[in-house]
Structure 1
Amino acid sequence: MFLSRLLEPVKAAAKEAGATLWQLYQSGDFQQQQKADQSPVTSADLAANRIIIERLSELTPDIPIISEESKLAPLMQRQHWPRYWLIDPMDGTQEFVARSGDFAVSIALVERDWPALGVIYWPKEDILYYASRGNGAFKQQRNLINRIRVNQHHQGDTLKIAVSRRQPLQPIIDLLNSEHAVEYIALGSCSLKSCLVAEGKADCYLRLGPTGEWDTGAVHVIVEEAGGKILDSEFTPLSYNQRDTLANPDFMVMGQASTPWPDLIKARRTERDLSL
């Protein structure tokens, strides 16, 4: 009941923030700068961040908020939170700046350090993806709502892999174990590529390189409620709120659970994984 009560207001907050992003995107009236980690941030990210924090604070004043664009509370404080909001006001800032339109708003509620509710809004297409634990995953485009499921991949089928528009393809090719026919589907935004898997348009998404827990929180519950999984590059579950930073290891978004993923994709341990 608690999760179902929150879902509609959270969808509304995501759409409101997304509308602001889309207005600034179309007008070009935004400023860009580099963060300490050299990733881009724009005034549009910060405007969406303000809207989401205001709406969530009104909705649940007793639940703390973690955002990519806000100062992170120390682990000693965070580890005692029974639940918290985990948000990325604009996932895909590079896509926003590059004018591809492949950026999204991401809002998750994490309970007992595991995602319980997730909402993704894609302003360009006016699409909402959302899910809450135990209640299925859904795609809403304007007033049309459909339940979504991962693709039923069969042996011998072409393996459809979601990939980034901005990153080289060869590292992904090097991870594939088999001689399966492969189709690569390029899209911006980490969360949108994960949603491709959730709705069955891709079989998997292999993410190599830096991401934060706000990049996976909302899509984690969406993918799992659609029948898929998100695991790290050694096929073990991601964790949330367990480290000083919220950096993710490399991870894989995988569709149909019965697919023999270890036969198709090589486990991969990196120095970055070891540091976590």
Structure 2
Amino acid sequence: MNVVDHHPALLQIFETTAIAAGREILRIYEEGCDVALKDDKSPVTAADHAAEAIIVDALRRLTPDIPIVAEEEISSGHVPGDLGDRFYLVDPLDGTREFVNRNGDFTVNIALIEHGAPVLGVVYAPVRGWLFIGGPGGAQEVTVEHDGTVTARKAIACRTTPDQMVAVASRSHRTPETDAYLKDYSIADCISVGSSIKFGLLARGEADIYPRFGRTMEWDTAAGDAVLRAAGGITLTLDGKALTYGRRDQADDVDFANPDFVARGKL
């Protein structure tokens, strides 16, 4: 059996791998660690590297022929060649600033991309115990204890956009452009939260819109975008097209950089 052609089986591997990575992140979170700066001045910790090693090792053992685009490997110069029609995007610790600031708003992200679209994804926030899953069968939220035990599982879906919307915005990267964009909508509340948790709030019907202006990378969004699409939402570029993945040789930006986008619940 080719596990990638059986999406439920692969999603189960994503889930168990994300939980294992989250357990290691929590261990380091509780013990503390040094913080370094990468070339782009973004922070990186031992937790980023340890979690990525767990995820990459699991995916390479399972499907050695599928390329992996993983944040820390890319940062260290290990860039895959031809991606083909199917590849993984991995952000082992999305929200490293939130990890360093110890507010709990960080996630483990694993996604499968097929023909430029995120078709499978898991987003795990280990401090909160929230694990979001998305695939062709729909979206789920799983409750996970700090020891990795799964205690609950339920289907989730985006809500139909109400007249008075709830927005979500980045805790660490909110921009004036975000506030200007939201002025064109009837916004009842705006929740500031870190990492790809924002996609999870959209997917479970607690928020309706997430505009993002400024630099993000594909590994930041792919898993959350997969969950959101499985829940009935969509992530669009500013010209109204679905956000795609696998951008390389961009004239105006680096490989795997996203354009500005707006993630929405059910329209």
**TM-score (ref. length: structure 2):** 0.88
Q: How many residue pairs align between the two structures?
A: 250
The alpha carbon displacement at 1:82 in A equals 2.8
Cα 1:162–1:63, aligned 2, differ >3 Å: closer, same or farther?
A: same
SS of structure 1 residue aligned to 2:13: helix
- Show the counterpart of 2:138: 136
8 Å contact from structure 2 (residues 218, 257) kept in 1 = yes
Is 1:237 matched with 2:239?
A: no
Q: Superposition pairs for residues 112-127 of structure 1, below 5 Å?
A: 112-127=115-130
AA matched with 1:140: V
The alpha carbon displacement at 1:199 in A equals 0.7
Q: Superposition pairs for residues 67-106 of structure 1, below 5 Å?
A: 67-71=70-74, 77-79=81-83, 81-106=84-109
AA matched with 1:230: T
SS of structure 2 residue aligned to 1:143: strand
Of 245, 249, 272, the match for 2:259: 249
- Show the counterpart of 1:11: 15
Structure 2 unmatched runs, 5+: 144-149, 250-254
AA matched with 2:159: N
The alpha carbon displacement at 1:23 in A equals 1.0
- Show the counterpart of 1:58: 61
AA matched with 1:2: H
- Bigger mean CA deviation after superposition, 233-242 or 15-24: 233-242
8 Å contact from structure 1 (residues 78, 241) kept in 2 = no
- Show the counterpart of 2:31: 27
8 Å contact from structure 1 (residues 127, 140) kept in 2 = yes
Cα 1:180–1:113, aligned 2, differ >3 Å: closer, same or farther?
A: closer
SS of structure 2 residue aligned to 1:174: helix
SS of structure 2 residue aligned to 1:106: strand
The alpha carbon displacement at 1:74 in A equals 5.9
AA matched with 2:263: V
Q: Partners of 1:177 and 1:116 in 2: how far apart? A: 32
Q: Partners of 2:94 and 2:185 in 1: how far apart? A: 33
Cα 1:179–1:160, aligned 2, differ >3 Å: closer, same or farther?
A: closer
8 Å contact from structure 2 (residues 70, 90) kept in 1 = yes
Q: Partners of 1:69 and 1:99 in 2: how far apart? A: 21
Q: Superposition pairs for residues 194-205 of structure 1, below 5 Å?
A: 194-205=199-210
Q: Partners of 1:19 and 1:74 in 2: how far apart? A: 27
Structure 1 unmatched runs, 5+: 258-276
8 Å contact from structure 2 (residues 48, 93) kept in 1 = yes
AA matched with 1:85: Y
AA matched with 1:145: R
- Show the counterpart of 2:154: 146
- Show the counterpart of 1:166: 172
- Show the counterpart of 2:232: 227
8 Å contact from structure 2 (residues 175, 213) kept in 1 = no
Q: Partners of 1:176 and 1:229 in 2: how far apart? A: 17
Of 223, 229, 232, the match for 1:218: 223
SS of structure 2 residue aligned to 1:90: strand
CA offsets 1:222-268 (integer angstroms, 9 cap, x no match): 111111110112322222113130000111110112xxxxxxxxxxx
The alpha carbon displacement at 1:168 in A equals 4.3
CA offsets 1:86-143 (integer angstroms, 9 cap, x no match): 10000000000111111000000112222111011110022210111x2101101132
Q: Partners of 1:173 and 1:130 in 2: how far apart? A: 29
Of 206, 213, 221, the match for 1:208: 213
Cα 1:153–1:112, aligned 2, differ >3 Å: closer, same or farther?
A: closer
- Show the counterpart of 2:252: none
Cα 1:105–1:170, aligned 2, differ >3 Å: closer, same or farther?
A: same
